[in-house]
Amino acid sequence: MAYTVPKLTDYSAAALDRASAELLAALEQDVRKLLFDSGKRSSSHEAAWKLRWEEWKSFRDKWISRKSGVLTQINDVWLKGSPKEAKRPAGQLVNDLRKRVEEEVARAEASLTRSEEEDQRASPGQSFASMDDALRTLEGVDITLPGARRPIGAEHPVMRTMHEIVGVFQRLGYSVAEGPVVETDYYNFEALNFPPDHPARDTQDTLFIAGQQSKPQRERLLLRTHTSPVQIRTMEKMRPPLRIVIPGTVHRNDPPDASHSPMFHQIEGLAVDTNITFGDLKGTLDHAMKALFGSSVKTHFRPSFFPFTEPSAEVFVSCFLCGGSGKRGADPCRPCKQSGWIEVLGCGMVDPNVFEFVKDNGYDPKKVSGFAFGMGVDRLALLKYGVDDLQYFFQGDVRFLQQFG
């Protein structure tokens, strides 16, 4: 491969292209020869290994050796030797070629190393005569240096809280279900007993996907505003009895601030069977809250409204930060606003109207009953880790996240 770097007299774009193409063609030929020849030889023989690496070294030196490699030559001859007005295109060309050549050399090395590893696997112990040999041939790699330390990640505090909550229900025998974030109006609203134009829809500032007006309302796409649609999706797929928890992200058109985010996390729960009562709901959630916040917390159920449950309730736990006193030492307890109670979730008995939508899959409201609940994970993570601004969770600032490592 008698490629020599030519002198350039013509620095026109066409001439530079030609020079570049010739150089790259020579490079390609060299790479092919190197890889092909080394593949052809019976590689289990020690001498063949050495030869292979000798060839590799001369290939490498020819192209990138600092003293006289092709890269150095084009820098000296094409760039330094160029007239003033051609410095810019010549510089660009030399830079581009440098990148290309270095990449090719690295690639050739990687593929030689790979085939060597393969051969070693095929005939272990037959390659280098000694460790010294191996070290010498791998010149440039100082294996006595400490290895690159790979930073170990940690679970994000929101995910950690989510897994913890899901775990509590899994230990009660619940399975985990998931569903799509881009949802239809039908699953997000209609089948959850939000009739079209019902004002309850307004409480969930919905982000709609654009350009859906030509579809019937129930097929229009939106970003799910809660994890409740997965209740319906799961009941369509699985017959009762059912016990599921549904973790996931939801979106609402809320501008970000210390306690709001357009994307946040919820965990939904659903239990359906014969004879499920409000007592089961209370007992289950009381147990779950004690498992999450400590056995001394109390729970408190207050009547509420959700279209998909009847009756519905909001659940409060006694403040696990101030023990329910509303005070921390002499100071007022801010997270519970001095009330001693923290609202943690919404729940209720599944509305018979919801079962009507999945009746054909065994959910006859005359035969089965169930309870459902839904909670926001991010706010619980805030309280649990004493973080005072929700935005920290979503900014990806390693200085913040490292504290949870």
**Which residues are bridge partners to 331 per DSSP?**
328
Q: Which stretch binds ligand DAH (CB under 6 A): 106-114, 151-159, 286-294, 345-353?
A: 345-353
Task: Identify which of residues 26 and 372 has a Cβ nearer to ligand DAH in the complex.
Answer: 372
Task: Identify which of residues 194 and 293 has a Cβ nearer to ligand DAH in the complex.
Answer: 194
Q: Which stretch binds ligand DAH (CB under 6 A): 32-40, 182-190, 342-350, 362-370?
A: 342-350
Task: Identify which of residues 134 and 200 has a Cβ nearer to ligand DAH in the complex.
Answer: 200
Minimum Å distance from CB 228 to ligand DAH? 4
Task: Identify which of residues 38 and 309 has a Cβ nearer to ligand DAH in the complex.
Answer: 309
- Give me the helices (H) in 153-194, please: 157-170, 185-188
* Contact set for ligand DAH, span 160-219 (CB under 6 A): none
Q: Which residue is nearest to ligand DAH (CB)?
A: 374
Task: Identify which of residues 63 and 308 has a Cβ nearer to ligand DAH in the complex.
Answer: 308
Minimum Å distance from CB 255 to ligand DAH? 18
Minimum Å distance from CB 401 to ligand DAH? 27
Task: Identify which of residues 70 and 191 has a Cβ nearer to ligand DAH in the complex.
Answer: 191
Q: Work out which of 71, 333, 347, 358 binds ligand DAH, going by CB under 6 A.
A: 347
Residue 364 corresponds to which amino acid? D
Q: Which stretch binds ligand DAH (CB under 6 A): 127-135, 151-159, 279-287, 368-376?
A: 368-376
Q: What is the 3-state secondary structure (H, E, C) of 325-394?
A: CCEECCEECCCCCCCCEEEEEEEEEECHHHHHHCHHHCCCCCCCEEEEEEEEHHHHHHHHHCCCCHHHHH
**Which residues are bridge partners to 301 per DSSP?**
315
* Contact set for ligand DAH, span 221-280 (CB under 6 A): 226, 228, 268
Does the CA dihedral 156-162-164-167 come out positive or negative? negative
Minimum Å distance from CB 308 to ligand DAH? 6
- Give me the helices (H) in 123-156, please: 131-137
Q: Does 316 bind ligand DAH (CB under 6 A)?
A: no
Total of chain residues touching ligand DAH, rule CB under 6 A: 11
- CA distance readout (Å), 405 to 70, 296, 398: 48, 28, 10
Residue 175 corresponds to which amino acid? S
* Helices 46-64 & 13-40 angle (0-180, nearest 10): 170
Minimum Å distance from CB 201 to ligand DAH? 12
Q: Work out which of 157, 179, 229, 346 binds ligand DAH, going by CB under 6 A.
A: 346
Question: What kind and span of H or E run contains 36?
Answer: helix 13-40
Minimum Å distance from CB 344 to ligand DAH? 11
Q: Does 372 bind ligand DAH (CB under 6 A)?
A: yes
Closest Cα partner for 22 from 82, 93, 80?
A: 93
Task: Identify which of residues 117 and 205 has a Cβ nearer to ligand DAH in the complex.
Answer: 205
Minimum Å distance from CB 399 to ligand DAH? 32
**Which residues are bridge partners to 8 per DSSP?**
none
Closest Cα partner for 259 from 335, 371, 332?
A: 335
Question: What kind and span of H or E run contains 21?
Answer: helix 13-40
Q: Does 63 bind ligand DAH (CB under 6 A)?
A: no
Closest Cα partner for 174 from 288, 270, 294, 275?
A: 270
Does the CA dihedral 280-281-282-287 come out positive or negative? positive
Q: Give me the residues that bind ligand DAH (CB under 6 A), please.
A: 226, 228, 268, 306, 309, 346-348, 372-374
